[in-house]
């Protein structure tokens, strides 16, 4: 049956695409340009062979010393890589997961460009039928902008939030794809029509390492300028407008040795988008008049990056190796850009990846700063790709590990060991191996002892040598992950693949470094033996170093000093120092799955006074994995600011307590996440279902048997102070916090929580709070994946039995009440809390009311229309800042929309930015009034297509379902309802909705967080007469009406 469906889908596609044009000829137009005059010194990477699996005996061997590329060149046909017959046969040489439904083909054009074609024909039969059904609906296309506009929910937890001590919810998270089907009978309505975007990525083998001495950042600037018009499509903003109109997006990034460009778009418009995109690499105009505003954009990006400790550390590390000062006089930037582009944007430096729902033959035709203590110990090694085997041990967090030992001493909070695989850490010149440790205050005072612990562990590894058992465990874990891998978003996938083509031989471009093929103890030992104290570099990062640093890094202004290691420690490390008996290799991992059956079917649900359970069997992805999600709800948390803080402390200590016993599970690709939600503890575990119950039970056991030592309590509370402080000093998070403090009644400001923590909380207070927490709860759960309903009910029973709690006396709402803003324009302006940070944030918010799903969808369509002209007006033309975006807002069920601009106080008065936003919205009103019906329908079609995009992996589907459960909306077939609403909209609906919310009776709130600079708060002008200032938030909100609790479910 499945085979017949697949064949039918392929045949239907062939019939439909036989007349497709040969747009890939566009990429033949990319020249294999002549070498630069200084090509021997300046070439970004040798265009020879990439390192193969067997080419690892000498780690300092130059990239390319094997016959891989020669063999590919010998196999290349005389017809520019064409296969001739119309088929979907892939390259059998490329190793791919048995669960991967895509087909792959590698080709190399005569101009030297290497390309990987990815054909994803899954669900094609359903799409063919769907296309026929929709012929009569929304046929119109063309004229006006659109995009996947940002839809953000102001109250939501995220499974992928990685801040270990972020007790805050990440507000304003994207929830556009957080709804799905509720029951099996309603699933068909949502999933009958699905279509993935077509995606393309191009990797150019040049980056910032090739910047000329007199023009640093030229490679990054070229990344911006290359899209400023091309000969065939000269409009400087034409490509972005085209993508937005057809539900697409694009991005680019510059690393040390590579620059990556990518875009995605609806399949229907893929061919034209690809042609437009290719022209930028064939004949980019790089319009001279665009230079000034793109310099402003890069400058804003630089200012936004300055507060990041990671960016400052990396630039400092790089700056210390510079030999010459850049020259700035008498440089024609435009001509130097053209020269750099001509020299390096050459076909033989490029790798291209295309993924779409087309056959491979069809695709071949279209190929054309924060408060923190951290110690980083770094070694510079020859370029190599074997580090992950050593880093797996150095970064281990279980018993006997470096981190386990340091945690017991309350010296460390987190550790990363290995190579970050960025262009700065892994390139053709060198590789960086580092051990980065986040220190506590006490750990900062003992940083030499911390470093000594790391050296003792490495010496132990050197003495024992590589162990076959550990290699086999890693191999089994990676084999499981690869064999049962889930599909990823196409645009992310092509971005990764176009870099892999430059790094790996053909058969390994899908596996990368994931699979281990042979245990080579000599290679591992050779790298390991270089990790000795005498060759190490230390970076000790801390605010406590203030006043001790006499040097200043040129670009970010980072204060630093260079010191010799203390003699006593240097002598110890040069000696044959003793091993630490508490440090040892990890024990055998009991969490690794060996039994991954593909089991049956079943159904649904539990509903009791103590909680309810939602269940969905995975019948789509068919992988031996599952997700178990539980929300432990209680009203106690939001009663006082101190309760919120105690709850944050509880979740962070719980994470600390679990880190060691659960680490083996993490290594075995079983993951857990604990989140301090607004109204309860969120527990999520995921991974191979064979051993997942062990991890879930372990997590619940640690909740039930919670305990803490005074030392751990002190360590966590001190770290939490830094976390709260770091939230406050970021302009973007402070702006969010101020806006929600105004809008959401009874919300606790971060300053309230910071003050409660500074006032002093004891371990006894925490333990008393936890006893009350566990006494009365309501538990909601979702189990989804390769598990039966009986197994999922057992999870619910385990929670209830183990925690032994009473049910809540009344229903508990999981949202804040929202105040109704008065009519008019209100302004709340606050000063940024980090001195010296020039970044300002200006958000203009329009409140709607308690609205329906139809009106929510209409607002989303409006913001989608708004996105591209907003960026063009405020960023490109007005050069106000790098981050400019409109957003749909769902604030505890109350709709609204906003426009946000990240700017700098060194350049603009925040009220000037506010007025420019208003100026844009006025021009936007005229724009949509003059919108043609054809352009309106094109935008509607684009949004429908986005909502029809199929899930790429099980986790994406679970995220949507879980969002419906955790917000208690339960509208799992939300997208189906939204699509129906979209089909009913007219242009007048859009215009009238915008006018109603922008007219004289509008409810408008501006929030300004003003950075330090020429236009900082003291020198800012007074607000105009029509703006009502908010000088006391509590006093202002206490006079306002409260809107009823509301959920957007109809």
Which of 730, 246, 558, 421 shows the shortest CA–CA distance to 238? Answer: 246
223 is catalytic: yes
**For residue 273, what are the contacts with CB-CB under 8 A and spacing of at least 6?**
198, 239, 242, 243, 246, 248, 263, 265
Q: Are 450 and 427 in contact (CB under 8 A)?
A: no
3-state DSSP call for residue 552? Answer: strand
Hey, how many other C-beta atoms are within 10 angstroms of the C-beta on 830?
17
Distance, in Å, from the CA atom of 503 to the CA atom of 63, rounded to the nearest integer, reads: 9
Distance, in Å, from the CA atom of 113 to the CA atom of 109, rounded to the nearest integer, reads: 5
Instruction: State how far Cα 513 lies from the chain centre.
Output: 21
Structure tokens at 144: 């006006």
Structure tokens at 192: 């009958």
Phi, psi of 653, deg, nearest 5: -65, -40
Which of 23, 27, 25, 43 shows the shortest CA–CA distance to 35? Answer: 43
- DSSP class of residue 744 equals B
Distance, in Å, from the CA atom of 51 to the CA atom of 30, rounded to the nearest integer, reads: 26
Side-chain-side CA neighbours of residue 29 (13 Å): 19
DSSP string, 752-804: HHHHHHHH---HHHHHHHHHHHHHEEEEEEEEEES--HHHHHHHHHHHHHHH-
Q: Do you know the residue count of the chain?
A: 1050
Distance, in Å, from the CA atom of 605 to the CA atom of 184, rounded to the nearest integer, reads: 12
- DSSP class of residue 566 equals P
The tokens 């690709």 sit on which residue?
A: 669
- DSSP class of residue 513 equals T
Structure tokens at 230: 């091309």
Phi, psi of 264, deg, nearest 5: -135, 155
The tokens 């509301």 sit on which residue?
A: 1046
Alpha helices in 901-1004 (DSSP H): 910-929, 933-948, 954-966, 974-984, 987-998
Rg, Å, the chain Cα set? 29
- DSSP class of residue 49 equals P
Which residues are bridge partners to 351 per DSSP? 114, 203
Distance, in Å, from the CA atom of 382 to the CA atom of 886, rounded to the nearest integer, reads: 46
Distance, in Å, from the CA atom of 291 to the CA atom of 334, rounded to the nearest integer, reads: 8
Q: Are 459 and 168 in contact (CB under 8 A)?
A: no
Structure tokens at 305: 């990056």
Query: What's the sign of the alpha-carbon dihedral 868, 871, 876, 877?
Result: positive
Distance, in Å, from the CA atom of 547 to the CA atom of 828, rounded to the nearest integer, reads: 35
Distance, in Å, from the CA atom of 511 to the CA atom of 509, rounded to the nearest integer, reads: 6
DSSP string, 521-544: HHHHHHHHTT--GGG-EEEEEEGG
Helical (H) or strand (E) element with 966:
helix 954-966
Kind of pairing between the strands at 671-676 and 680-688: antiparallel
Which is catalytic among the residues 125, 145, 168, 223?
223
Distance, in Å, from the CA atom of 418 to the CA atom of 395, rounded to the nearest integer, reads: 7
Structure tokens at 458: 């490495």
Structure tokens at 589: 């991992």
**For residue 177, what are the contacts with CB-CB under 8 A and spacing of at least 6?**
949, 956, 959, 960
Q: Which residues are catalytic?
A: 223
């Amino acid at each position: 049956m499945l085979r017949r469906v697949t064949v039918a889908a392929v045949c239907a596609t062939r019939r439909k695409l036989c007349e497709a044009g040969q747009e890939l000829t566009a990429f033949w137009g990319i020249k294999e340009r002549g070498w630069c005059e200084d090509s021997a010194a300046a070439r970004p990477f040798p265009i020879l062979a990439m390192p193969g699996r067997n080419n690892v005996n000498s780690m300092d061997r130059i990239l390319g010393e094997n016959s891989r590329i020669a063999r590919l060149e010998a196999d290349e046909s005389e017809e520019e890589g064409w296969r001739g017959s119309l088929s979907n046969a892939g390259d059998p040489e490329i190793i791919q997961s048995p669960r991967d439904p895509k087909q792959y083909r590698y080709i190399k054009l005569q101009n030297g460009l290497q390309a990987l074609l990815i054909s994803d024909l899954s669900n094609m039969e359903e799409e063919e039928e769907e296309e026929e059904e929709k012929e009569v609906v929304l046929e119109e296309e063309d004229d006006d902008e659109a995009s996947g506009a940002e839809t953000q929910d102001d109250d939501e937890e995220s499974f992928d939030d990685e801040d270990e001590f972020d007790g805050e919810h990440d507000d304003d998270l994207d929830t556009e794809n957080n709804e799905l089907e509720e029951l099996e009978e309603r699933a068909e309505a949502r999933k009958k029509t699905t279509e993935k975007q077509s995606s393309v990525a191009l990797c150019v083998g040049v980056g910032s390492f090739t910047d000329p001495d007199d023009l640093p950042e030229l490679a990054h600037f070229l990344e911006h300028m290359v899209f400023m018009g091309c000969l065939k499509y000269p409009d400087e903003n034409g490509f972005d407008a085209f993508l937005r109109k057809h539900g697409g997006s694009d991005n680019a990034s510059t690393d040390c040795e590579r620059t990556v460009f990518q875009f995605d778009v609806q399949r229907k418009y893929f061919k034209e988008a690809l042609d437009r995109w290719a022209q930028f690499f064939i004949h980019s105009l790089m319009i001279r008049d665009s230079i000034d505003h793109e310099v402003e954009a890069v400058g804003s990006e630089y200012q936004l990056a300055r507060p990041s400790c990671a960016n400052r550390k990396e630039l400092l590390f790089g700056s210390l190796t510079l030999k010459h000062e850049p020259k700035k006089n008498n440089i024609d930037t435009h001509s130097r850009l053209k020269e750099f582009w001509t020299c390096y944007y050459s076909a033989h430096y490029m790798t291209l990846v295309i993924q779409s729902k087309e056959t491979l033959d069809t695709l071949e035709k279209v190929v054309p700063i924060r408060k923190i203590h951290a110690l980083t110990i770094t070694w510079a090694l020859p370029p190599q790709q074997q580090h992950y085997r050593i880093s797996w041990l150095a970064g281990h967090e279980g018993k006997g590990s470096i981190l386990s030992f340091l945690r017991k001493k309350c010296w460390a909070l987190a550790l990363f060991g290995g190579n970050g695989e960025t262009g700065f850490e892994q390139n053709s010149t060198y590789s960086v191996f580092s051990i980065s440790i986040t220190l506590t205050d006490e750990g900062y005072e003992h940083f030499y002892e911390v470093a000594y612990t790391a050296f003792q562990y490495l010496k132990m590894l050197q003495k024992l040598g590589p162990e076959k058992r550990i290699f086999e465990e890693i191999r089994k874990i990676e084999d499981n992950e690869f064999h049962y891998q889930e599909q990823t978003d196409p645009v992310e996938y092509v971005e990764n693949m176009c870099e892999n083509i430059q790094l790996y031989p053909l058969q390994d471009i899908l596996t990368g470094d994931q699979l281990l093929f042979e245990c080579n103890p000599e290679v591992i030992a050779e790298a390991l033996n270089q990790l000795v104290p005498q060759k190490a570099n230390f970076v000790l990062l801390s605010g406590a170093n203030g006043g001790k640093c006499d040097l200043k890094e040129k670009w970010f202004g980072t204060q630093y000093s260079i010191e010799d290691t203390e003699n006593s420690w240097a002598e110890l490390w040069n000696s044959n120092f003793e091993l630490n008996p508490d440090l040892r290799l990890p024990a055998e991992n009991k969490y690794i799955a060996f039994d991954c059956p593909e089991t049956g079917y079943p159904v649904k649900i539990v509903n009791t006074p103590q909680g309810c359970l939602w269940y969905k069997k995975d019948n789509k992805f068919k992988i031996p994995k599952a997700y178990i999600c539980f929300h432990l709800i209680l009203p106690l948390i939001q009663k006082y600011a101190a309760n919120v803080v105690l709850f944050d402390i509880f979740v962070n200590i719980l994470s600390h307590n679990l880190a060691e016993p659960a680490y083996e599970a993490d290594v075995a690709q079983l993951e857990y996440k604990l989140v301090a939600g607004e109204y309860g503890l969120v527990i999520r575990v995921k991974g191979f279902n064979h051993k997942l119950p062990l991890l879930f039970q372990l997590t619940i056991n640690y909740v039930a048997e919670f305990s803490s030592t005074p030392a751990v309590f002190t360590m966590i509370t001190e770290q939490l102070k830094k976390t709260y402080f770091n939230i406050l000093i970021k302009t973007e998070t402070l702006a969010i916090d101020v806006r929600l403090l105004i809008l959401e009644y009874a919300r606790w400001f971060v300053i309230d929580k910071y003050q409660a923590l500074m006032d002093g909380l004891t371990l006894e207070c925490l333990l008393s709070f936890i006893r009350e927490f566990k006494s009365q709860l309501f538990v909601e759960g979702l189990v989804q994946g390769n598990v039966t309903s009986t197994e999922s009910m057992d999870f619910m029973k385990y929670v209830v039995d183990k925690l032994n709690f009473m049910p809540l006396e009344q229903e508990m709402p999981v949202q804040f009440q929202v105040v109704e803003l008065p009519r008019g324009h209100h302004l709340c302006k606050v000063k940024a809390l980090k001195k010296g940070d020039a970044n300002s944030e200006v958000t203009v918010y329009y409140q709607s009311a308690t609205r329906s799903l139809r009106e929510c969808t209409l607002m989303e369509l409006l913001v989608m229309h708004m996105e591209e002209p907003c960026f063009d007006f405020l960023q490109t033309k007005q050069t106000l800042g790098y981050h400019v975006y409109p957003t749909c807002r769902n604030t505890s069920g109350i709709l609204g929309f906003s426009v946000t601009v990240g700017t700098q106080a060194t350049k603009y008065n925040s009220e000037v930015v506010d007025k420019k936003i208003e100026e844009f919205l006025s021009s936007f009103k005229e724009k949509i009034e003059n919108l043609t019906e054809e352009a309106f329908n094109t935008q509607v079609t684009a949004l429908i297509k986005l909502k029809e995009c199929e899930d790429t992996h099980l986790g994406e589907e679970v995220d949507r379902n879980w969002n419906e459960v955790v917000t208690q909306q339960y509208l799992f077939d939300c997208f189906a309802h939204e699509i129906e609403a979209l089909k009913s909209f007219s242009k007048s609906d859009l215009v009238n909705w915008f006018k109603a919310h922008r007219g004289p009776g509008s409810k408008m709130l501006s929030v300004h967080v003003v950075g330090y600079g020429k236009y900082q708060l003291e020198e800012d002008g007074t607000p105009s007469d029509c703006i009502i200032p908010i000088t006391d938030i509590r006093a202002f909100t206490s006079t306002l009406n409260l809107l009823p609790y509301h959920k957007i479910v109809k």
